[in-house]
Amino acid sequence: MTSNELMNVIERDPGVIWRFVWEMSDLVFVPFDFIYSLLMLVYALGYSTLTGILMYALVFCFNWQKDKFNLASDESIRVIAEQKQ
């Protein structure tokens, strides 16, 4: 092993491990922060917050269906364009 390869291993591997350990706290605390923020919204705004969350979920579903439809139509347009060439 050359000295450059050795330096690469020494510098890279601990960096990967350190980055994983450093970001582990985000994996643990983000769900708790999300739940806490939802509870604070319900406490501050009342049950109207749940209506907003429901509307957000409905719009998400509609956009998802629209994207599926657009992908299907784009695919059929691509097939027709390839057949003309």
Local mean pLDDT, 10-residue blocks, the chain (85 residues): 73 77 83 90 88 93 94 88 83
User: What is the pLDDT, as a whole number, of residue 22?
Assistant: 82
Coil, strand or helix at 54: helix
Alpha-carbon distance 32 to 62, whole Å?
28
CA dist 33 → 26, 30, 41, 60, 73 (Å): 10, 5, 12, 22, 40
Q: Where are the domains of the chain?
A: 1-45, 47-85
Which among 62, 43, 42 is positioned nearest to 52, based on CA atoms?
Answer: 42
Can you give the pLDDT at residue 82?
87
Q: What is the pLDDT of residue 18?
A: 78
> Going by C-beta distance under 8 Å and a sequence separation of 6 or more, which residues neighbour residue 41?
49
What pLDDT is attached to residue 1?
66
Predicted confidence at residue 70, as pLDDT, reads: 92
